[in-house]
Chains A and B, each alone.
Chain A
Amino acid sequence: MFEKLKEILVNKLKVTPEQITLEATLEDIELDSLAVVELSLVLETELGVSVSDDELLEAETVGDMVKLIEQGSARV
């Protein structure tokens, strides 16, 4: 799932690939509240995973987001 998330962050939100690690914070990869809404939308359209922007904003790191997305896919 980390690889899938990374691919989306790079290809859809144009985050620099080198910045994306499991430990990177949302701030490190410059994900503000708008970008998180965008990410939530792309996760749904690309992966069919439903994770709200509010849930994603709770995440501190990319690793936390990966866990949320895994839980979200389990719900589907």
Chain B
Amino acid sequence: MAGPDIAVTGLGLVTPAGIGTAASWAGVLAGRSAAALDPALDGNPVRISCRVPDWDPDALLGARRAHRLDRFSQFTLVAAREAITDAGLDPASWDGARVGVVLGCADGGPGTVEEQHRVLVEHSAHRVSPLLLPMQLPNMLAGQTAIEFGARGPNLVVATACASGTTAVGVARDLLLLDRCDVVLTGGGEAMITPLVMAGFARMGTLSRRADDPAAASRPFDADRDGFVAGEGAGVLVLERSADARARGARVRARVAGYGASADAHHVTSPHPDGLGLEAAMRAALADAGCAPSDVGHVNAHGTATRLNDLAEARVVRRVLGDPLVTSTKGVTGHLLGAAGAVEAAFTVLGLEEQLVPPTANLEVPDPACEIKVAATATATRFDLALSSSMGFGGQNAVLALTTA
């Protein structure tokens, strides 16, 4: 492999498919959609969502800590703790000054904002919680992670809407290559399933309206798809330079071999119809990794199940890569928005380890306009290079090239 050598040494997941990497991965491989009617969305035009099942922040974080965290930070701290343990690292003894945090989210804590706005309108400004800002500011995702684990290195949150998780991993990798730190906790967390945000998505026409059959609503690349289902959760990866990982005897789960990013400069919500921006990001990731398009065995696609996204993305995959096995794990998890890219990068790492391409849930009749090979079932196959791609509102594209350890 000609590209820069960054190792993934730890994974942590909190997703609608389950809490923990093992539960999430098992849920994804089973191809069972997590989508269901959501009582919190009663009265909304769209009431389907993918919630993290049996979420009990008091039990996982302690009631006092959980009380002062918005849901997006709660998910992320739990995922980060798992990732650190998985990497065999110990925050009690690491050199915190050399541990960076780069996380992505699209919206911070809208649930907290909406709750406190209600207090303002129904009572008065004097009743607004002093925790409003420390809970909802997007950067708290990285700030709270630093506080929790004593990570005192470079610390930031990136926002590229639905590409945020992927962008974060790319930026984290760059920090390691620049020797700004030795370890980075990276990924993303999101909790945007709130009445106001969901009303906004519904008004944009981006959400599936299959209310009579929620489990069939998230159907990427299917001919009958009609929009995405919003999900929530977090994914955290521990990255280190491979030489450092080897030196401390860490298990290298996969490598981040390349990263590419671009902007469509086209439209706020619609991808470029020919996916020119995504193509640029994909080619950049491959060039960075020193790999040929034909080396790519698997793509974990953005695959939101909107009409426009899947079509544009399929065109790019066909044109740039040819015929790799594509999957969208959003059929199971729904769209985790700013956390999606992080969670999907983790699934791609697991796929590389197990030489297994996860299924695209609800793929019944592949859209003939999407001229790519989409995995409908979990498929064992040999591959050393996989891409995980993301596209965000605003036209931001990010692609990771991941390889076997």
Contacts and interface: CB of A to CB of B under 8 A. Distances in A.
Contact of B129 (A14, A15, A30, A41): A41
Contacts of A14: 58, 63-64, 66-67
Interface in B122-143: 126-127, 129-131, 134
B64 A15 contact: yes
B64 A30 contact: yes
Interface in B55-75: 58, 63-64, 66-68
Contact of B130 (A15, A16, A37, A45): A37
Interface residue tally on B, bucketed by range = 10 to 19
A59 interface: no
Interface in A32-72: 34, 37-38, 41, 45
A13 interface: yes
Nearest to A16: B64
A38 B63 contact: no
Contacts of B67: 13-14
B115 to A, nearest CB: 14
Contact of A38 (B58, B66, B126, B131): B131
Contacts of B64: 13-16, 30
Contacts of A13: 64, 67
Interface string A1-27: 000000000000111100000000000
Contacts of B134: 34
Contacts of B130: 34, 37-38, 41
Main secondary structure of the interface of B (DSSP, over half): helix
A37 B127 CA distance: 10
A41 B127 contact: yes
Residue of A16, A30, A41, A45 contacting most chain B CB atoms (<10 Å): A41
B116 to A, nearest CB: 12
A35 B63 CA distance: 14
A67 to B, nearest CB: 23
B127 A45 contact: yes
Nearest to B133: A34
Contacts of A30: 64
Contacts of A41: 126-127, 129-130
Most buried by B among A13, A15, A34, A37: A34
Nearest to B58: A14
A35 to B, nearest CB: 8
Interface string B97-136: 0000000000000000000000000000011011100100
Nearest to B64: A14
Nearest to B66: A14
B384 to A, nearest CB: 48
A20 to B, nearest CB: 12
Interface in B331-361: none
A9 to B, nearest CB: 10
A13 B66 CA distance: 10
A53 to B, nearest CB: 8
A13 B58 CA distance: 12
Nearest to A11: B63
Contacts of B66: 14
B396 to A, nearest CB: 34
B206 to A, nearest CB: 36
Contacts of B58: 14
Contacts of A37: 130
A34 B135 CA distance: 11
B131 A34 contact: yes
Contacts of A38: 129-131
Contacts of B129: 38, 41
A41 B116 CA distance: 13
B112 to A, nearest CB: 13
Contacts of A16: 63-64
A76 to B, nearest CB: 17
Contacts of A34: 68, 130-131, 134
Nearest to B131: A34
Given A34-B68, A38-B129, 11 more contacts: A13-B67, A14-B63, A15-B64, A30-B64, A34-B130, A38-B130, A38-B131, A41-B126, A41-B127, A41-B129, A45-B127
Q: Which 10 A-B pairs have the closest CB atoms?
A: A37-B130, A14-B63, A14-B67, A14-B64, A34-B130, A38-B130, A34-B131, A15-B64, A41-B127, A38-B129
6 contacts: A13-B64, A14-B64, A14-B66, A34-B68, A34-B131, A38-B131
